[in-house]
Chain A
């Protein structure tokens, strides 16, 4: 793997509300290398999303050091949030437009992503004409159009039905590998995490601490769907399951 592009050292995060304060993240340290696919699993409400928000620069850590190489990371949310009044083209150009980087070349690049990933026929369609899986793919292309080095995926499959979810995970994994992107995926689905990642980080319940770290080596082709059938898959699953279970 290449050089480190994300480095978190002892980061803490505390939320302040009128009824008191909540510690969401407690002395968390981890790093991610360029080109790596890392998943974060943990019990719900453990502060996984808070960690992504800090990586995206939406929240400042209360303490600790957070270092990011490259420009603004791309962020993918649970729902696609495509803008209903913009065509697919208008939607994938949104990020470039916001950042004032829309020109002939970046636009061409965004449209070629649509072509490569089989959505070019819908370039002038509106989001409501697309299925849930297609919409989420458009959301990914909107993120990729800004050519980020790092992608933050916040449970991007959880709003989809099971079948779409498996197929889309496979497709998106292939896209990210092909584009050579580094990705951090937050999920509560252990199988999804193992099937997609090079490494899985296990967080404890709130406040989030690093509980375990598992490098995933599967004797299977590099496709989440096929990786699910690898002989070692169940072992990883059981280990991570037990690690999460101790919390309860």
Chain B
């Protein structure tokens, strides 16, 4: 609306400058697609001409056929659905729990000091090592995988959200104290809204972590899901199936990342920041 209102008369020089910017943008976009198409083409040609063994190297055509077969047998949505479910639940629980713990640690700096070494060690520990324990505790099923997805993002979420809370300047809190605010008011009215951008950034990182956790979880124990397909495909030497699953995984991970980024943009816009 506002763009229509004011179309300022730019000088010819400025128009040329804008055009050059637009050309650059178009070039970058075109190159991105070209790179993808070129890779697929070379891969396909290499497989057809037997430069690589299509049995272990697969090819775009074989990969598409594998996806189609999964689709026709009705398995495709089942595997996607299960993995997506595990990831989303693990991610949401990890974020919720991580943020709650971060709030607790912000509230009590003493508690934060006490727990600091434990957090550092938990962060350094490869969570995958806990796999066997999780299977014993939560059973060989979806629950273990969700817990794995949760665990792997939990400590990172706690640490980055807490760092976000602590980065809110003392002076804004001082202002609230001069107005007579309680600690709860300082938190809900200043610290929490001011850390929304940091929290959203933490989410973008932990969404990737949840994928790692879920796929690793599915490697260890699963009867369905994309991680299961990858392991199964590897065991029966069906590399087409493995590659197809990885491609689907790429797409899903990208969609979820952009969903979080979109959410971030929406929230920030609504908050006017």
Q: Which residue numbers of A lie inside 8 Å of B, CB to CB? A: 56, 58, 72, 74-75, 77, 79, 81, 83-85, 87, 94-95, 97-99, 126, 146
Contact = CB atoms under 8 A, between A and B. Distances in A.
Interface in B168-221: 171-172, 174-181, 185, 189-190, 193-194, 196
Nearest to A129: B272
Contact of B180 (A72, A83, A84): A72
B180 A58 contact: no
B171 A79 contact: yes
Contact of B174 (A58, A72, A146): A58
Instruction: Identify which of A58, A83, A97, A126 gathers the most chain B CB atoms within 10 Å of its CB.
Output: A83
Given A56-B178, A58-B177, A146-B179, A84 B189 contact: no
A85 B174 contact: no
A103 to B, nearest CB: 17
B273 interface: yes
Nearest to B176: A98
A111 B54 CA distance: 74
A94 B180 contact: no
Nearest to B193: A85
Contacts of A75: 175, 178-179
Interface residues of B, number: 19
A199 B88 CA distance: 65
Interface of B: 171-172, 174-181, 185, 189-190, 193-194, 196, 271-273
Contacts of A146: 179
A85 B269 CA distance: 9
Instruction: Identify which of B177, B179, B190 gathers the most chain A CB atoms within 10 Å of its CB.
Output: B179
Given A79-B171, A81-B172, A85-B193, A126 B178 contact: no
Contacts of A99: 179-180
B33 to A, nearest CB: 37
Nearest to A83: B190
Contacts of A126: 272
A79 B174 CA distance: 11
**8 nearest A-B residue pairs (beta carbon):** A75-B178, A85-B271, A95-B179, A98-B181, A126-B272, A81-B175, A98-B179, A84-B273
Contact of B273 (A56, A81, A85, A87): A85
B94 to A, nearest CB: 26
A77 B180 contact: no
